[in-house]
Structure 1
Amino acid sequence: ARVRLNGRDLGVTWCAPWRVEIGDVLKEKDNRLEIEVANLWPNRLIGDRLLPLEKQVAWTTWNPYKADSELLPSGLLGPVRITTQEKGGMQ
Structure 2
Amino acid sequence: MSSTWIRLLFIIVVVLLPYTVFSMNIFAGPENVVKEPNCTTYKSKSDCSDIADPVCADDRNTYYNECYFCLEKVIEKLRYRYHGICIYK
Instruction: Give TM-score scaled by structure 2 length.
Output: 0.23
More helix by share: 2
Instruction: Give TM-score scaled by structure 1 length.
Output: 0.23
More strand by share: 1
